[in-house]
Each structure stands twice: as structure tokens, then as C-alpha cells.
Amino acid sequence: MSTKKCFPNNFLWGGATAANQYEGGYNKGGKGKALVDVIPAGENRREVMEGKFHYRDLPNDCLYPGREAVDFYHHWEEDIDYMIEMGFKVYRFSISWSRIFPTGEEETPNQEGLDFYKQIVRKLVDNGIEPLITICHFDMPLHLIEKYGSWRDRKVIDAYLRYCRVLFETFKGKVRYWITFNEINMLLHMPFMGAGIMFRPDEDQEKVKYQVAHHELIASALATKLAKEIDSDYQIGCMLAAGQFYPYSSDPRDVFDALEKNRATFFFSDVQVRGHYPDYTKQKLDNLGITIDMLPGDEELLQENTVDFISFSYYASRLTSADPEAGEKTAGNVIPTLRNPHLEISPWGWQIDPLGLRITLNALYERYEKPLFIVENGLGTKDELVDGKVNDDYRIDYLQKHMLAMHDAITKDGVRLIGYTSWGCVDLVSASTGQMSKRYGYIYVDKNDDGSGTLKRYRKKSFDWYSRVIATNGASLFE
Ligand code: BGP
């Protein structure tokens, strides 16, 4: 095994965005209303995203940051030019479902919406950038939520497949990599943001969540089947909000608690990669008295249509204890965690753990032995624009350490990692907070938390740094 100081040939370096936080143009080009259009910034955001506060009951003066976002809708050429300049090999982005099917129920797609993405794919392909498309990234037509209660109803699977068919047929021969659902496990933690679920009074929320999970897993399997029928070269991936749970102490109860918390994430990939419900989930549901409504043939569908690669986001590891009083809490990517005293934290309280990335890569690779793809990682923090420049050495430091951990996983542990797209390569709206000030990009966008700003773009210091990493296939990380 090679330990040379660069990454495998053809390693896919790039960046990632998603329509709901980046694209804007929410009422342009025939687009229908989407889930993100009703998620406000400010104090009610969290409860709306958790499905506990109905968006219809929000005050009139709310700011909805996803509606304009950073207006990729009108800046796509300029932004992709920056990606070309940085030497991207891959660009991960999502398609807004309601731009293609405004209500989700039309017989034919909205041509204007489709044309918007066609020109993007054309520009990427013409410039040697591999598109990696997320079909559903915290996004769906609002109509499907209002009419069917979202993914609780199997009719939404049909709507999703109609949408998938249009994408797979339109981009045949141009796009290779697809992700069926962004962070599919997030639906357990943020049911509205993750899957459009608003809870009704007195319902068994766990039952609803697992039923919705089943429908998304079936939709993902059917999409995988459809993709292969249309183009056998298509590579389909699942996508997890990953980051291993560590036990808070060596107390076996803490160790067991970490094992159970990790299962809540692995449940999804176990189904999507291995093709069946793991026994620990079957037993858990049985113990909770939950029966999932399945149709005859569902189990075969899951078994026969597993994914080709496993993609995931990694921002940090997580920490847990069996003792509810133990430790101190800190923020993290939605899923609750305790503060790990061995780690530094970002100004938003997110922990920084490059070795945790290597641990997470190993956990996934040992479990599945399939190609892995890191499709989100990065430091969300404040930047200061001074004389048109941003000196983001802190971001470079974060990224450098995580990339070195990836290199260790590849060259010392034998992990098969095929690519890396850092999150929010152009600054965009934060999913958890709705803020603009929590920035991840190599490109600064002049937009503020209150929605003001010129939307003008500026290269940050990390822009040149990342360009060099890509140009040297990682060798510059060792200089
Ligand atoms: C993931 C999402 C992204 C993204 C990222 C960073 O959960 O897939 O959409 O936003 O986290 O989180 P945040 O925006 O809250 O900083």
C-alpha cells in the first residue's frame, strides 16, 4: 500500500451546495413553493424544523432566508467560473424539486426549471467538472406536504419517482453520480426540515418517523432501480449525517449508549447498503410496539436495489453518556452531543475533530467495504471582509487537518475514499440557524443575517489555498 504524499489518481476534489440554502429565485421561472420557503430565520426556526410549530402560525413579519439565499439563480455562471478557476473536479449541488414539478403532481415537468439545470450541467461538463446531484436536499414541493402530510403517504413515492425519471432521462450520459436523499437520518432529528413532517396532536411521533423513513428508503431503492434501467453507468449513493459517537467515559453503560446512538445513523445505511432492516431495528420497533406498514415486495425491493457508494457529511464526532446529568452540552450538526474536553470548538459551539473523521471513515468502511465519498465538511464561522479580502487562516487550518486525516485513512488504513466536496464552497445560508454569518466558503458573498447586502462575490485566502491543494492532488498539504 502506498503512503506517498498525495491522493489517489482521479480523486474527486470539489465543493458542495444545495438549492434550498443557495439558489434563491423562489418564485422565478415557474417554480412552485417549497418546504424551505416556509422556514423562517429567528426564534421559531428550530421548532418549525422539528415539526412542532406550524409554519402557518408564524408572525407576518418573518424573514425567510432561503427564498433569496445568495441568488445562485442569477449568479450561476459567475459562481461556476470560480469553481473552474479553483480547478474543481466535481461539484455537488441539489435540484429544487418544485422547480421541476411545481406541485409535485403535474403530468409534465416545468421546462423552464429543467432548462435552468441543463445549462448548469452543460457548463460543468464542458469544463471537465463532474456533476454530483442530490435529488432531494431538505426540499420538496409544499403542496405534497399540505395534501398528503409529506412522506407519510406512499403517493409521495410516486411523485418522487416521476421527478427522478425526468432527471435520469434528461441527464443521461452527462451526470454519473447521484444522491437520493441528503442526510436521510436527519428526519429522526429534524422531521420537518428533513422530510416535511409536521406532527399532529396526540400521534406517536416515533411511529410516524419510522414510517416516513421506510417510505424514503423504498423511494431510494426504487430510484436506484430506475436509474440503472435508464443508464447502467449511473452511480447511486446514500447520504448520512455522520460523525461517530464516542462514549463519555469508560463506564460500559456509556460505551453501550454510544453504540445505540451510532445505530440510529447506521440503520439507514444498513438498509441502503446491505439491503435489509437490521435485527437491532426490528427488535427496537417491536419493543416500542411499532409496526411499520409495508407492502408485499418491499423487502425484495430493498434487497435488490442497494447503493453503489456511501456518501456522508462530517463536521465533528459526537459524545454521549447513559447518565443524563453527565457532562455539559454543546451545539453540533443538529444531533445532540456533549462537550468533549479534548476538542476545540467553533464560535457556534461545534467541536473540531480531524481524527474523528478518520475514525468515521474507518467505521463506515469496515462495516460496508464500499467506496466512500465525503460530500460535506468544513468550518462554519464568521469572516471579516476588509478591503475586499478575507484572511481565513482558521478555515485553512480546519480543512488542512481534515484532509490529512483523510490521507491517513487512505494510506494507513486502506479506506477507499473517492472524493471530497467541502460544504458551502460559496457562502450560503446556514441550515440550522438560517444565518448568513455562519460561513463555510472559499468565496465570500456580501449578504447579511437581516437579508441586506449586494450579493457581490469575493475570493477568500482559502480560495488560492484550495486551488493549490487540487492542482497538486493534495501534495501541497505536506509542504
Ligand atoms: C448539513 C446539511 C447542510 C448544511 C450543513 C451545515 O446538515 O446537509 O444543508 O447546512 O449541515 O450546517 P449549518 O448550515 O447548520 O452550519
Q: Is residue 391 predicted with pLDDT exceeding 70?
A: yes
Mutate to test the pocket of ligand 1, among 333, 334, 383, 433 (most ligand atoms within 8 A of CB): 333
Q: Which atom of ligand 1 is nearest to the CA of 334?
A: 7
Residues with CB under 6 A from ligand 1: 18, 21, 182-183, 241, 313, 333, 376, 380, 423, 430-433, 438
**H or E element that contains 117:** helix 111-126
pLDDT band at residue 254 using 50, 70 and 90 as cut-offs: very high
Q: What is the pLDDT of residues 297-312, one digit of tens each?
A: 999 999 999 999 999 9
Q: Residues 47-59: what's their mean pLDDT?
A: 95
CA 358 / ligand 1 centre spacing (Å): 20
What is the rounded distance in angstroms from the CA atom of residue 338 to the CA atom of residue 321?
8
Q: Which atom of ligand 1 is nearest to the CA of 431?
A: 14
With a pLDDT cut of 70, the percent of the chain lying above it is: 99
pLDDT band at residue 321 using 50, 70 and 90 as cut-offs: very high
From atom 12 of ligand 1, which residue's Cα is the shortest distance away? 431
With a pLDDT cut of 90, the percent of the chain lying above it is: 97
Q: Which atom of ligand 1 is nearest to the CA of 182?
A: 8
CA 361 / ligand 1 centre spacing (Å): 19
Q: What is the pLDDT of residues 256-301, one digit of tens each?
A: 999 999 999 999 999 999 999 999 999 999 999 999 999 999 999 9
**H or E element that contains 99:** helix 97-100
Q: What is the pLDDT of residues 107-125, one digit of tens each?
A: 999 999 999 999 999 999 9
CA 431 / ligand 1 centre spacing (Å): 5
What 3-state class would DSSP assign to 200? coil
Mutate to test the pocket of ligand 1, among 92, 136, 186, 376 (most ligand atoms within 8 A of CB): 376
Q: Which CATH number fits the domain that encloses residue 321? A: 3.20.20.80
H-type alpha helices, 177-278:
191-195, 205-230, 252-269
Q: Is residue 3 predicted with pLDDT exceeding 70?
A: no
* Contacts (Cβ under 8 Å, ≥6 apart) of 24: 66, 67, 68, 69, 70, 71, 72, 73, 74
Number of structural domains the chain divides into: 1
Q: Which atom of ligand 1 is nearest to the CA of 380?
A: 16
pLDDT recorded at residue 1:
43
Mutate to test the pocket of ligand 1, among 190, 240, 395, 423 (most ligand atoms within 8 A of CB): 423
pLDDT recorded at residue 14:
98
152-155: Cβ within 8 A, 24+ apart: 152/197, 152/208, 152/211, 152/212, 152/215, 153/215, 154/215, 154/218, 154/295
Q: Which atom of ligand 1 is nearest to the CA of 430?
A: 14
From atom 16 of ligand 1, which residue's Cα is the shortest distance away? 430
pLDDT recorded at residue 334:
86
Report the chain's terminal Cα–Cα distance, integer Å: 22
CA 258 / ligand 1 centre spacing (Å): 23
* Contacts (Cβ under 8 Å, ≥6 apart) of 205: 191, 199
CA 26 / ligand 1 centre spacing (Å): 20
Q: What is the pLDDT of residues 222-231, one digit of tens each?
A: 999 999 999 9
Mutate to test the pocket of ligand 1, among 49, 190, 313, 346 (most ligand atoms within 8 A of CB): 313
From atom 2 of ligand 1, which residue's Cα is the shortest distance away? 431
From atom 4 of ligand 1, which residue's Cα is the shortest distance away? 431
Among all residues, which ones are annotated catalytic?
A: 183, 376
CA 335 / ligand 1 centre spacing (Å): 12
Residue 463's closest CA among 395, 405, 402? 395
Parallel/antiparallel/unpaired status of strands 443-445 and 457-459? antiparallel
Supply the range of the domain harboring residue 300: 3-478
Q: Give the number of other Cβ atoms within 10 Å of residue 81's Cβ.
A: 14
CA 283 / ligand 1 centre spacing (Å): 31
CA 37 / ligand 1 centre spacing (Å): 17
Q: Say which DSSP state 185 is in.
A: G
Q: What is the pLDDT of residues 61-99, one digit of tens each?
A: 999 999 999 999 999 999 999 999 999 999 999 999 999
| Per-chain mean pLDDT for the chain | 97
What is the rounded distance in angstroms from the CA atom of residue 391 to the CA atom of residue 385?
8
* Contacts (Cβ under 8 Å, ≥6 apart) of 274: 306, 368
Q: Which atom of ligand 1 is nearest to the CA of 138?
A: 9
pLDDT band at residue 5 using 50, 70 and 90 as cut-offs: confident
pLDDT band at residue 2 using 50, 70 and 90 as cut-offs: very low
